[in-house]
Amino acid sequence: MTRETIIRGIVVSTMIVTTGLLGACRQKAAPDRTLRNPDQGQGKVPGEAETQNVTIETKGRTVEIMGAVEGWPKEIPAEVPQFSSGTIRRVIRTETPEGQSWDLTVEKVREHAIRDYETILKASGYQTSSMIVTGKEGERGSVTGEKGAVTIVLISTSGTSSVSVILKK
């Protein structure tokens, strides 16, 4: 199998799983607003007045979940084109001995964002592959861009997207 076939298979599998998860997220139960430990947070329910950031460190790996996000993360290399077709709600940054990655959750994504970002990636010199499906609910699908040690994956469906930027050492 060629590299392109393997990447296309991974992208299709990822898109199927993400579509299923995003569909399941639309049917959430009402949030549980009870405080589990009254001494913690001096009576405030976590997430009510503030957005929390969490850092997890293990052997050779650091994961940072950033809930308070203001735009495109500055740590992402400048050579990576910004995805500006929606509002970034959460960023998960992972650092391992193999490299770094940023996973962005983007909401209120405008129509044709996948095709537009693919055009931007191509203009920036990335080799791209994409799978886009247009239906009554709009455009959904994915685009993958590769250039040197950088891989970018955008998966989008029904106004919500996931953007992954992987930087290999």
Query: Could you tell me the CATH number of the domain that includes residue 59?
Result: 3.40.1000
Tell me if 39 is assigned to some domain: no
Tell me if 37 is assigned to some domain: no
Confidence (pLDDT) at 41: 42
Ranges in the chain, pLDDT < 50: 24-49
Tell me if 29 is assigned to some domain: no
CA 72 to chain centre: 12
Confidence (pLDDT) at 45: 43
Of 99, 118, 101, 102, the C-alpha closest to 156 is 118
Tell me if 24 is assigned to some domain: no
Tell me if 8 is assigned to some domain: yes
Q: What is the dihedral of CA 122, 126, 129, 131, to 10 degrees?
A: -60
Domain count for the chain, please give it: 1
- Euclidean distance between CA atoms 63 and 49, whole angstroms: 24
What pLDDT digit, counting tens, does each position of 48-78 carry?
Answer: 445 678 888 888 888 888 877 888 999 999 9
Tell me if 27 is assigned to some domain: no
Confidence (pLDDT) at 121: 97
Q: Which residues contact 86 (CB under 8 A, 6 or more apart)?
A: 106, 107, 108, 109, 110, 113, 159, 161
Tell me if 113 is assigned to some domain: yes
Confidence (pLDDT) at 47: 47
Three-state DSSP class for residue 124 = coil
Tell me if 109 is assigned to some domain: yes
Write down the pTM of the prediction: 0.68
- Please identify which residue in the block is written with the tokens 């203001």: 70
Domain extent for 114: 3-15+54-168
